[in-house]
Copies of this chain bind each other. A is one copy, B any other.
């Protein structure tokens, strides 16, 4: 039996279970030359998928209605007529939300379960780690001794950004939404300070207190009011990495904010959005660096693993309520 999850409706506001459709097909998958049969093991759910569920103009084509959703997946090769991959190999890449599927192996690459847990290849050694590392270094261009603020700090990308910040010699301040997360940022990931935005009345003042020398680099995973508060604390030549805007992804109207322009002008400051594939030529070096740090024990990660293929949509929806700590992965 092959299970598939389709996009049924384009979500209005926060996605709901009824936006997804589950289908079962009782069919035998056969492969021809160059193809292989894959069994899905781990599925990545990520906030950016929300954007692809809309049909608004974006950096990638929107998902089609009544077609399978796809995201980062780790799969096992169960049969292969492709010379690059053998039965028993594990592969990583963008695949459909299906329990089994046929692939030509394009844009898939092998991963080694002896070097790291398979789920890590969706996280710290996958898009998550690459997004954190390349966003921070290529756009943020941090210099030792500077101050880094990370929003969504307990999330998959945020927790890696903060750790890399520490490795690079920065003062690192994380913003998250529970005291438990703030404790984890400091105890597990080595952040210098944390701010619980849900219990802090004056975010502007709290950031100022945590960043007495001002903010040089802001890795922004959330957009929204938290980011406005950071603006008031940026230094001359500050760099903001606009990685995500989970705070406004579900808005049905165009969100407004404090105007960033006067702040950018006054501080000769930069803001830049990106998606990790902009830096595709840097992936091999970045993965090498991340693997080294991981092997040396300088990087750690947390993940929230939800069990069951049928729970993929709910795991995705839970991202918007901050229910994950670190990378959210579904184990099939």
Flag if B258 contacts A59 (CB, 8 Å): no
Chain B residues near A266 (CB-CB < 8 A): 51, 56-59, 273
In the assembled complex, the Cα of A263 lies from the Cα of B59 at a distance in Å of 10
Interface assignment of A259: CB less than 8 Å from any CB of chain B: yes
Interface string of A248-279 (1 = CB under 8 A from B): 11000011111111111111111111110010
Closest to A251 in B: B262
Interface assignment of A223: CB less than 8 Å from any CB of chain B: yes
In the assembled complex, the Cα of A258 lies from the Cα of B254 at a distance in Å of 7
Interface string of A263-307 (1 = CB under 8 A from B): 111111111111100100000000000000000000000000000
Flag if B259 contacts A223 (CB, 8 Å): yes
Flag if A259 contacts B255 (CB, 8 Å): yes
- Within A229-250, the residues touching B (CB, 8 Å) are 236, 242-245, 248-249
Closest to A222 in B: B261
Classify chain A: how many residues form its interface, as a range. Answer: 35 or more
Flag if B248 contacts A259 (CB, 8 Å): yes
Chain B residues near A227 (CB-CB < 8 A): 261
Chain B residues near A223 (CB-CB < 8 A): 259, 261-262, 265
Flag if B236 contacts A265 (CB, 8 Å): no
* A274 shortest CB reach to chain B, Å: 5
Chain B residues near A39 (CB-CB < 8 A): none
In the assembled complex, the Cα of A265 lies from the Cα of B274 at a distance in Å of 6
* A87 shortest CB reach to chain B, Å: 39
Interface assignment of A220: CB less than 8 Å from any CB of chain B: yes
What would 21 A/B residue contacts be, using CB atoms closer than 8 Å?
Answer: A51-B266, A59-B267, A59-B268, A220-B261, A223-B262, A224-B259, A227-B261, A248-B262, A256-B259, A257-B258, A257-B259, A261-B273, A263-B273, A264-B272, A264-B273, A265-B274, A267-B273, A268-B272, A268-B273, A269-B273, A271-B272
Given contact pairs A51-B266, A242-B261, a sample of 20 additional A-B residue pairs in the complex whose CB atoms are under 8 Å apart: A57-B266, A58-B266, A59-B267, A227-B261, A242-B264, A243-B265, A245-B265, A249-B262, A255-B262, A257-B257, A260-B260, A260-B271, A261-B273, A264-B272, A265-B274, A268-B275, A269-B272, A269-B273, A270-B270, A271-B272
User: Which 9 A-B residue pairings sit nearest by Cβ, starting from the closest?
Assistant: A264-B273, A265-B273, A257-B259, A223-B261, A255-B259, A270-B272, A242-B264, A58-B266, A271-B271
